[in-house]
Amino acid sequence: MKHLLLLSVLILYLGCSKNPSTEAAQIRAYYEGFKQSDYSKVKSTLSDSLISVAGDFTMRYSRESFYEKFKWDSVFRPQYTLVSINEEGENPIATVTMNSPKLEFLQNNPMTCRYTVYFKEGKIARLVELDCPTANWEMWAKRRDSLVGWTKINHPELGGFINDLTLQGAIDYMNAIDLYKRRKSTVYKD
């Protein structure tokens, strides 16, 4: 009887404890969904809500509102590579490399960042950006500000794209980049 009770407690403990390999699988599936442009795969890894933190910027999403971010992101044709998952601490840390035309324009391509991933009931509930060691934030800001200023003067119809996290905002962002690059190429051809 004593062994049966001990076995029951052990089974209960193991059933309630975190399962790192399941968390790693969820993280892999999350980034694989982005890689394959498959929102259903991403959605299946998410908790009912998701909090994304990057510096002082915090965004709260439902599964449905995160789809808007997914669509925004997809316009930039990103390529995500999950470099590693460190499961040594309480919460896994994912290291991810990103490539995209937007990052190329901002002269931060490729860019590698590390995220602490928090789970709730086995699903991703919070992503906290720890650092982006390859990022050159000064260059990012210089290129972004140059694009925003030029667009404001030359294509005011695209104004506000930098803060518009909708599908249309991303389309406007890419159009602004394209127009800016074409303008620069014609200036240098003279």
pLDDT at 20 over 60: no
- Which domain covers residue 144, as residue numbers? 136-190
Per-residue pLDDT at 159: 85
User: Same domain, yes or no, for 160 and 72?
Assistant: no
User: Same domain, yes or no, for 98 and 165?
Assistant: no
Task: Report d(CA 101, CA 75) in Å as an integer.
Answer: 10
Structural domain includes residue 2: no
User: Same domain, yes or no, for 131 and 179?
Assistant: no
pLDDT at 64 over 60: yes
* pLDDT classification of 21: cutoffs 50, 70, 90: low
User: Same domain, yes or no, for 127 and 150?
Assistant: no
Task: Report d(CA 140, CA 110) in Å as an integer.
Answer: 13
CB 35 within 8 A of CB 80: yes
pLDDT mean over 119-140: 96
10 Å CB burial of residue 141 (0-12, 13-18, 19+) is exposed
Structural domain includes residue 11: no
User: Which of 98, 115, 135 marks a domain boundary?
Assistant: 135
pLDDT mean over 48-52: 96
User: Same domain, yes or no, for 90 and 171?
Assistant: no
What rounded mean pLDDT belongs to the chain?
87
pLDDT mean over 144-154: 96
How many structural domains comprise the chain? Answer: 2
pTM given for the model: 0.81
